[in-house]
Amino acid sequence: MLQQPDNSYRLGLPGSGVAPLPFFDTERDTGYVVRAALESAPGKKILAAGSMISWTDQLKVWCEFNSVPFGGFDSLPIDVFDKFFPIPGLGRELGEMMEFMDEFGYVGGDSSVVLPSEVSSHMPCSK
């Protein structure tokens, strides 16, 4: 995340920045996730997330919370992203993971994985 000359903030990562990713607030969401697990059938695959939010929307929330202008999201090539890391290849590995999630979703397209709100009416969660 970089502050721009106009004081807005921009985020640059591999991928489109619009793929939904899990967000988990430990204090708020733990009980809901445990309840969903207890209410579901054995073997159910539950993604422990209170909500799903993209990188772009996370930055928008952060900017709003901090009363600073939102500048946008920039899709970075993996080769550029890799240069930000002191460990050779780490940025490439993370960048490929981000692009995978962008293309196939956080759970890799596994339709059997559900959010807690899909097995429990008590979870205030949305996709």
Indicate whether 109 belongs to any domain: yes
By residue range, what is the domain housing residue 33? 2-118
Residue 123 banded pLDDT, cuts 50, 70, 90: low
Backbone region of residue 61 per phi and psi (left: phi > 0; alpha: psi in -120 to 50; beta: other values): alpha
Number of domains the chain contains? 1
> Of 21, 4, 15, nearest to 75 (Cα)?
15
Residue 80 lies in a domain: yes
| Whether pTM exceeds 0.75 | yes
pLDDT of residue 120: 73
Closest to 60 measured CA to CA, from 72, 74, 49, 51: 72
Examine residue 123 and state whether it is found in any structural domain, yes or no: no
Question: Bridge partners of 76?
Answer: none
Closest CA to 76 of 105, 96, 53, 52: 96
12-64 pLDDT tens trace: 999 999 999 999 999 999 999 999 999 888 888 999 999 999 999 999 999 99
| Residue 125: inside a domain | no
